[in-house]
Amino acid sequence: MKIKGFIFDFGFTLFYFDNPSVEKYYECFKEGLIKSIDILKEKQVWSEELTEESFIKRFAKKREHFFRRSIKTKTEFPTSLIFQNVLESLKEENIINNIDHIDMKTYNKLAEIYHSCEEDEWEPFEETRETLKILNKKNIKIALISNHPNHQTIENMLKKHKVAKFFDFIMTSAKYGKRKPDPNIFLYTLEKMGLKNQTDFVIVCGDEYADIIGAQRANLQSILLERKYKFPFEKEIEVSNIRKINNISEILNFVE
């Protein structure tokens, strides 16, 4: 069968994070959050009543709350919205100064800074670039769907590693509002690739339950890239005859 398109996942499919652990993620986020405080000071939002420690604690609590809700409802709560929520609650409690002058552009900037440490850590697999290049040469459409709470961070990383140009369409849960495995994020992407109603000719490649089950719900083919390490609390993928690969370059075996 002639494959017309691929929809890739980002994390641990096209890019990897060295020595991943929950602790490392949190460390990275904390580093970003501390940097974002500088902006709040610059914008004269910060007040002496607020300590760095209490701000970090409050932010972590909100993030946890939104994360749990996103898992339950499959709705994404972008990082920019968490910042907005935290600042609004601090204002309500009269802990900080006026925030009327903080616009969406600033909230997006705060989110970008928050994820900046993570941005430095993710790198493409050795074979990623060449694989995308070959698919491009074969005129196969390429899209990316990532469950990520800040769209710009994904765009920045693709650009930084000079692979953005290979994609016909880049989508994130932050931008779409829903997370994988919601089938609609796949169907929307398919339309944007110009492959609406071509589900038989498109393969989703990812390393997680959300990718494989999402593909199944959208009636798309799928290939599981088997990760070397397991994440905590990972969902079992109950799909029979699942096609598996160990390296991203192996997807080339599925195209003519």
DSSP 70: H
Minimum distance between the CB of residue 14 and Mg ion, rounded to whole angstroms? 9
Provide, for the chain, the percentages of residues in helix, strand and coil under a 3-state DSSP scheme, each rounded to the nearest 5.
Answer: 50, 15, 35
What residues numbered 89-108 form the site for Mg ion, per CB under 5 A? Answer: none
Instruction: Out of 11, 32, 78, 149, point to the residue binding Mg ion (CB under 5 A).
Output: 11
Number of residues forming the site for Mg ion (CB under 5 A): 5
Stretch that binds Mg ion, among 12-20, 63-71, 108-116, 136-144 (CB under 5 A): 12-20
* Helix 79-92, helix 52-73: angle, nearest 10: 130
Minimum distance between the CB of residue 144 and Mg ion, rounded to whole angstroms? 11
What residues numbered 195-254 form the site for Mg ion, per CB under 5 A? Answer: 207-208
Residue 118 lies near Mg ion (rule: CB under 5 A): no
Q: Any idea of the CA torsion for 235, 241, 246, 248, to the nearest 10 degrees?
A: -100
Residue 181 lies near Mg ion (rule: CB under 5 A): no
Instruction: Out of 6, 12, 77, 186, point to the residue binding Mg ion (CB under 5 A).
Output: 12
Minimum distance between the CB of residue 29 and Mg ion, rounded to whole angstroms? 18
CB of 38 or CB of 234, closer to Mg ion: 234
CB of 11 or CB of 214, closer to Mg ion: 11
* Position with the least CB separation from Mg ion: 11
231: Cα separation from own chain's centroid: 16
Residue 182 lies near Mg ion (rule: CB under 5 A): no
Three-class secondary structure of residue 223 per DSSP: strand
Three-class secondary structure of residue 176 per DSSP: helix
CB of 5 or CB of 11, closer to Mg ion: 11
Q: What is the CA radius of gyration of the chain?
A: 20
Q: Are 46 and 96 in contact (CB under 8 A)?
A: yes
CB of 9 or CB of 182, closer to Mg ion: 9
Minimum distance between the CB of residue 136 and Mg ion, rounded to whole angstroms? 22
Helix (H) or strand (E) holding 245: strand 244-245
> How far is residue 160's CA from residue 34's CA, in Å, rounded to a whole number?
23
Q: Token match 């931008």: residue?
A: 175
Binding site for Mg ion (CB under 5 A): 9, 11-12, 207-208
